[in-house]
Structure 1
Amino acid sequence: MPFDHNDHYHPLLLRQLPPQGRTALDVGCGTGRFARRLVAHGYRVDALDPDPATLAVAEATGGGPRYRVADAAQAELPPAHYDVISCLASLHHMPFETLTRFRKALAPGGRLLVLGCYDGVTPWDVVASPTNAVARLAVYAGERTRGVRTPPPQPPVQQPEMQLPEIRQEAAHLLPGSEVRQLLFWRYLLTYTADR
């Protein structure tokens, strides 16, 4: 039964966009849903993903982002260029230190938005499990009513290895001034704003 935890947080991420932003990098863009939402908000978007099959689905959908098959942990990123760098459920596929590469690619006043996954169980997860079941059932019922039968493509999945306290500690070390906020559905939001 489909319910995309990352899509659920798109509105929250969009509220974090800096005013006057124009350039964006979407890391691990998958099928391009968030990258297209950034385009709809007036951004010129570079969208990277290491999986060619998933990126082919994104390119077939269109919508304006410039898609590129690339591993963001190794790809060349222009320095001090992007007003926004988003990374949805993909940081745990690369070394956590990749955050420093993103920091260097942020324009002055640019914002890094990481919707990340963590390992382990927290008290929030007790709440998330029944809420997740209800949300999945609601999405499933809605799609059945609309006649949707084809499941969306699934990009490669990797289990996160870092627990939330370690993520907070490493983020504070790599990105002084960053904030890590726990969310429902086994996610956290890391935000960081580059100095002007």
Structure 2
Amino acid sequence: MPFDHNDHYHRLLLRHVPPGARTALDVGCGTGRFARRLVGRGCKVDALDPDPDTLAAAEARGGGPRFRLADAATEPLPPGHYDVITCLASLHHMPFTTLTRFRDALAPGGRLLVLGCYAGHTYVDVLASPANALARAAVYATERARGVRTPPRRAPVREPEMTLPRIRAEATRLLPGSEVRQLLYWRYLLTYTKQ
């Protein structure tokens, strides 16, 4: 069924984009949905993804971002350049310390937004399972009613290895002043604003 846990949080992420943001980096952009939403907000967007097939699907849809085949953990990033850096369900594909590279690429007042995945289970996950089933059924019914028969291409998936408590501890160590908030659907939101 085509319910996408990451797409579900696009509006939340957009509310955290700094007002007046003009430059953005979308890390692990996948098929480019969120990168295109940032373009719609007036940002000039660099969108990176290491998977050539997924990036080809993103480029085929166009929409304004500058798509590049690159691994954000090793790709040179311009220091102090971006007003916002987003990373949707992709940080667990790279070393967690990559956060410091993103911090260094933020302009003063710039914001890092990580919609991340965590390993293990918490009490919130008990609520996530039935909510997930209902959301999937609703999206499936809507897609069928609209005549959509095949789900869109998805980026490669990897299971996360870090638990939420460890993510919180590491984020505090690497990015003092950052906040980590647990969300439904096995996700968390890490926010950090560079002073």
Q: Which moved more, 1:50-59 or 1:146-155?
A: 146-155
- RMSD value over aligned CA atoms? 0.4
Residue 16 of structure 1: how far off its partner (Å):
0.2
Q: Distance in 1 between matches of 2:139 and 2:156?
A: 22
Question: 4+ runs of 1 displaced by more than 6 Å?
Answer: none
Measure the CA separation in 2 of the matches of 1:103 and 1:82.
Answer: 10
Unaligned stretches of 5+ residues in structure 1: none
Kindly provide the amino acid, as one letter, of the partner of residue 96 in structure 1: F
Which aligned pairs between 1:1-196 and structure 2 lie closer than 5 A? 1-195=1-195
Q: Could you give the per-residue CA deviations for residues 111-147 of structure 1, whole angstroms, max 9, x where no partner exists?
A: 0000000000000000000000000000000000000
CA distance in 1, matches of 2:20, 2:149: 40
**CA distance in 1 between partners of 2:180 and 2:28 (Å):** 20
Letter in 2 for 1:139: V
The code of the aligned residue for 2:15 comes to: R
- One-letter amino acid of the counterpart of residue 131, structure 1: A
Alpha-carbon distance in structure 2 between the residues aligned to 1:153 and 1:53: 9
SS at match of 2:114: strand
Of the structure 1 ranges 117-126 and 151-160, higher mean CA displacement relative to structure 2 is found in: 151-160
For residue 119 of structure 1, give the secondary structure of its aligned residue in structure 2.
coil
Shift of 1:154: 2.0
User: Shift in Å at residue 2 of structure 1?
Assistant: 1.2
Supply the distance in 2 between the matched residues of 1:84 and 1:186 (Cα, whole angstroms). 23
Instruction: Choose 147-156 or 76-85, whichever is displaced more.
Output: 147-156
CA distance in 2: counterparts of 1:132 and 1:104, whole angstroms = 36
Deviation at 1:150, TM superposition (A): 1.6
Distance in 2 between the 1:120 and 1:25 partners?
A: 29
Identity %: 77
In structure 2, what is the Cα distance between the partners aligned to 1:10 and 1:37?
8
CA–CA distance in 1 between the matches of 2:153 and 2:2? 11
Q: Which runs of 5+ in 2 are unaligned?
A: none
TM-score, normalised to structure 1, is 0.99
TM-score, with length taken from structure 2 = 0.99
* Partners of 1:156 and 1:125 in 2: CA distance: 23
Q: Secondary structure at the match of 1:192?
A: strand
Q: CA deviation at 1:21?
A: 0.8
Query: 1:164, CA displacement in angstroms?
Result: 0.3
For 1:139 and 1:156, how far apart are their aligned partners in 2? 21
